[in-house]
Amino acid sequence: MRKKIKSNARKALSGCWGEAVCITLLFFTAVLFFMVLEALVFSLFDIPSFNGITDTPAFLFYGASPFEIILLVFVSVLRVLVPFFVTSPLALGMIRWYFRLVSEERHTFNDMLYYFSSKDLLKRSWKCFLSLYIHCLEYAVLFFLLPFAVLTLYKVLSASGILLPLFFPFLIIMLFSLAFVLLCFFLLRYFPVLCLIVEDDSLSIILAFRTSVQYTKRQHSGIFMFNLSFIVWCILSVFILSLLYSVPYYLASSAIYSKVLMEKGRRTATFGFHEYHFPDNPQGSCPASGSSFQHNN
């Protein structure tokens, strides 16, 4: 099925590559703009940079003036909020464009800016990604609780001078690696949630997440292998030209796969559990539309 999804994604993008590349460039230009702006603000106000959270207390407690502390906190908040408020509607607009493309619906470059068209849509995009980040953070805390507990124990025992087995550091690395893989696998339950949200503006964000969980039951392995099949393109994305191909390719493929899951989930909910055959699609039409499914009795 993955090969057919990718094939249909390429067919859907044929004739639309220019628009897809422009949309990709617009989004990454916005991201790059805020990165450059952040660097300029830190340089202009001579704010000491830090590599991580662990470096922050040293700056706060050793000779920093109240103005520097307030400025650092203010800039740190802005560096998160401003990109979030701008890139969230852009990202959801980009998903909307790809979803309408593979659904054979009318799509224009203006779909990228769709969620800037009204206050309600703008708030919807913010609520969508805020909910997604909160869900991811909640489960990240749960999955990484044990590795961090073991790491803390290791630091405490090492500081106490207790001789620990040599394999202990490797155990910690394995625990973190395993937690990361399990977290990514678990979060695949939200794979079609953005497509559910862009498909129907009347669908509540909470219901979209619940529906996504329902539609991805027993589908995690397939989604995981689908994402894994793009690992080479992900590596090649360090090059700009590869990025401009791999991002549209992946997003179009993901939109088709999401539609497959959504259609299958709706039919299963309506008629009970059935098996479906993924049809050939030589015309390049979206394989996830209702008419494309063939029911196997």
Q: Quote the pLDDT of residue 62.
A: 52
pLDDT of residue 270: 60
* Residues 18 and 291 sit within 8 Å (Cβ to Cβ): no
Residue 161 is predicted with a pLDDT of 77
Which residue matches tokens 């989604």?
223
| Cα–Cα dist 51/55, whole Å | 7
**Exposure string (b/e) for 142-165, b if CB count within 10 Å is 16 or more?**
ebbeebeeebeebeeeeeeeeeee
Q: What is the pLDDT of residue 166?
A: 78
How far are the Cα atoms of 62, 73, 113, 121 from residue 76, in angstroms, in the given order? 19, 5, 27, 27
| Type and span of the H or E element at 219 | none
Render each residue's pLDDT in the chain as its tens digit; 297 residues. 888 999 898 899 988 888 999 998 998 888 888 888 777 877 776 665 554 444 555 555 455 566 666 777 777 777 778 888 989 999 999 999 999 999 888 888 888 899 999 999 999 999 999 999 999 999 999 999 999 999 998 888 888 877 777 788 888 999 999 999 999 999 999 999 999 999 999 999 999 999 999 999 989 999 999 999 998 888 887 777 788 888 999 999 999 999 999 999 888 766 544 443 444 443 444 444 433 433 333
Q: How far lies 278's CA from each of 10, 118, 256, 273, 286, in Å?
A: 17, 38, 12, 16, 11
E-assigned strand segments in the chain: 275-277, 294-296
Task: Tell me the backbone φ, ψ of residue 295, rounded to 5 degrees.
Answer: -85, 130
Of 213, 195, 271, 245, which is closest to residue 21 (Cα–Cα)?
245
pLDDT at 276: 38
Which amino acid would we find at residue 201? D
- Residue 22 and residue 78 in contact, taking contact as beta carbons nearer than 8 Å: no
pLDDT at 16: 87
The structure tokens listed for 198 are: 């862009």
Residue 163 has what pLDDT?
74
Distances (CA, A) of 208 to 194, 199, 271, 288: 8, 10, 21, 18
- In the chain, the N- to C-terminal Cα span, in Å, equals 19
Residue 97, Cα to own-chain centre: how many angstroms? 16
Bridge partners of 295, per DSSP, are 276
